[in-house]
């Protein structure tokens, strides 16, 4: 049996051309010993559905099927993780349906985990790129556990799309929260990971090109989403005992998220590492 399951969820707003680029980058990986597990979270574009059916018959794709209604990103991830754990996969890798994996991403993460058996999750660096706007930025994250915990005072320590989990992570930390977090479950899952003794790492190489559009910045605005994110940050600060300075980071992030998209774009481009 293959050791690695790459989990992928698609929903109605995913675009066929972007999904095709994403799935092609997965199928073209230099590392081949993995299965792709896909869940359609509610009805999706017919072109995407037809492509999945075609790929299911030609590649190592396990298609969990189509749900009639959208239950949310974190709910779908939990379904895929539970299936992976039940099937006995040793590692579970994440990928989004519109991003592009570097050819040796999985190979590097797999060998890293094989050589570091105490690590529960490893991420990589990312490059954000714009399709419909002039935007490109390499986003970097610290590489060892203690640095990542300290970094979490400001923002998440792993690019979620690059996460490569050992199955023990979910046995220690549990699954994604599915209520009250507005699809910001990665903040909470990292908090649960640190709280439960999971060990974190990042590889200091780019693993995924992350697609950014004007909608990317719009989705990070609005009072409801900003308030949800702020509550999550307060929970992280209290749970991990980060201290007073972390509250200022949380407040600054909330103010940025409430700003116009043009200001948010500048903040993302010039204020992040």
Q: How far is CA 4 from CA 31, 110, 224, in A?
A: 10, 8, 37
Q: Is 178 helix (H, G, I), strand (E, B) or coil?
A: coil
Structural domain boundaries of the chain?
A: 4-213
For the cut 80, the answer to whether the pLDDT of residue 258 exceeds it is no
Q: Dihedral, CA atoms, 75, 101, 157, 92, nearest 10 degrees?
A: 50
Residue scoring higher pLDDT (272 or 20)? 20
Q: What is the mean pLDDT of residues 148-156?
A: 96
| CA separation for the pair 60, 119 (Å, rounded) | 27
* Residue written as token pair 């779908």: 76
Structure tokens at 34: 């993995």
What are 129's strand-pairing partners?
136, 211
- Predicted pLDDT of residue 59: 67
- Predicted pLDDT of residue 221: 55
**Closest residue by Cα to residue 81 from 11, 5, 157, 23:** 5
Contact 124, 105 (CB under 8 A): yes
Prediction pTM value: 0.90
Angle between helical axes of 185-195 and 73-87 (0-180°, round to 10): 50
- Predicted pLDDT of residue 229: 83
pLDDT band at 152 (very low <50, low <70, confident <90, very high): very high
**What superfamily does domain 4-213 belong to in CATH?**
Spore Coat Polysaccharide Biosynthesis Protein SpsA; Chain A (3.90.550.10)
| CA separation for the pair 89, 258 (Å, rounded) | 41
Q: Tens of pLDDT along 36-55?
A: 999 999 999 999 999 888 88
């Amino acid at each position: 049996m293959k050791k690695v399951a790459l989990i992928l969820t698609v929903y109605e707003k995913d675009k066929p051309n972007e999904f095709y680029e994403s799935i092609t980058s997965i199928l073209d990986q230099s590392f081949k010993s993995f299965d792709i597990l896909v869940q359609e979270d509610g009805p999706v574009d017919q072109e995407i559905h037809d492509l999945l059916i075609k790929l299911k018959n030609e590649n190592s794709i396990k298609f969990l099927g189509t749900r009639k209604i959208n239950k949310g990103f974190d709910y779908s991830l939990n379904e895929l993780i539970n299936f992976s754990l039940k099937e006995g996969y040793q590692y579970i890798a994440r990928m989004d349906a519109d991003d592009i994996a570097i050819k040796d991403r999985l190979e590097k993460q797999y060998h890293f985990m094989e050589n570091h058996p105490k690590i529960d999750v490893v991420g990589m660096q990312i490059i954000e790129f714009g399709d419909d706007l002039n935007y490109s930025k390499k986003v970097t994250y610290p590489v060892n556990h203690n640095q990542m915990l300290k970094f979490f005072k400001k923002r998440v320590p792993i690019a979620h799309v690059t996460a490569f989990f050992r199955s023990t992570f979910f046995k220690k930390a549990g699954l994604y929260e599915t209520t009250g977090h507005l699809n910001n479950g990665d903040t909470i899952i990292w908090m649960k990971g640190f709280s439960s003794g999971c060990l974190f790492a990042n590889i200091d190489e780019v693993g995924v090109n992350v697609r950014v559009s004007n909608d990317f910045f719009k989705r990070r605005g609005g009072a409801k989403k900003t308030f949800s994110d702020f509550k999550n940050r307060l929970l992280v600060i209290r749970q991990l005992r980060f201290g007073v300075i972390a509250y200022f980071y949380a407040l600054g992030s909330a103010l940025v998220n409430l700003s116009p998209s043009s200001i948010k774009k500048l903040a993302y481009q010039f204020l992040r590492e």
